[in-house]
Amino acid sequence: MGEMEDLCVTECTRCPALVDSRSRIVNGTGPKGADLLFVGEGPGAQEDDQGEPFVGRSGSVLDDGLRAVGLEREAVRITNCVRCRPPANRDPTDDELANCRGYLEAEIDQLDPEVIVTLGKVPTEHLLERSVAVTKEAGTLEDVRIGGEPRRLLVCVHPAATLYDRSQEETFRTTLERAAELADIDGTEGGQTRLDGY
């Protein structure tokens, strides 16, 4: 494994193709005490450029969706299955997912979130370790062991899916609503996940 400090990978050369295609390592963003952890697939062009997950078009959809259910981006943690941009935005390979898995597990362990929300097929299948029809299973909460620890995982469609298929907007919104409720119910006193009352 490469270097990881304070939830951030500072150096890693495990995936030759990604070392070539990336301009930087894109680490997770958001508070270390966040109740909700959103996990995407991997950085795209804008994320690679800015060094932050979900800052492009998908990021706008995610931010709008969060706001619509009373969550703010700054209150949740957002990360990806792989931290380096795959060439031509292809999906990360199984080897690349495996190479980056330790970093994701370390981030999950250190964060200890109430709920992990997987955005789309790649992160959902990666963390549930089975094939998943995401549009069918979106909104369902599953118990899963990640790095040996019991976790709760909420399946969500990828924000970009709502751009290609309008019918997924409602699925996306109701899943985020559920995430907000779960963070509220189980969150610690004084948690600031929701904007209500502020």
Q: What residues make contact with ligand URA under the rule CB under 6 A?
A: 40-44, 47, 53-54, 56, 58, 80
Work out how close the CB of 122 gets to ligand URA at its nearest, in angstroms, rounded to a whole number: 7
Burial (CB count <10 Å: 0-12, 13-18, 19+), residue 167: exposed
CA dist 193 and 149 (Å) reads: 23
Nearer residue to ligand URA within complex by CB, 30 or 53: 53
Work out how close the CB of 174 gets to ligand URA at its nearest, in angstroms, rounded to a whole number: 20
Nearer residue to ligand URA within complex by CB, 126 or 178: 126
Closest residue to bound ligand URA by CB = 40
Nearer residue to ligand URA within complex by CB, 40 or 113: 40
Work out how close the CB of 44 gets to ligand URA at its nearest, in angstroms, rounded to a whole number: 5
Work out how close the CB of 176 gets to ligand URA at its nearest, in angstroms, rounded to a whole number: 16
Nearer residue to ligand URA within complex by CB, 53 or 65: 53
Work out how close the CB of 41 gets to ligand URA at its nearest, in angstroms, rounded to a whole number: 4
CA distances from 36 to 72, 88, 133, 178, 191 (A): 11, 30, 22, 11, 11
| C-alpha triplet 41, 94, 9: angle, nearest 5° | 55
C-alpha closest to that of 118 among 84, 148, 146, 85: 146
Nearer residue to ligand URA within complex by CB, 115 or 122: 122
CA distances from 121 to 10, 127, 157, 161, 171 (A): 27, 10, 7, 11, 14
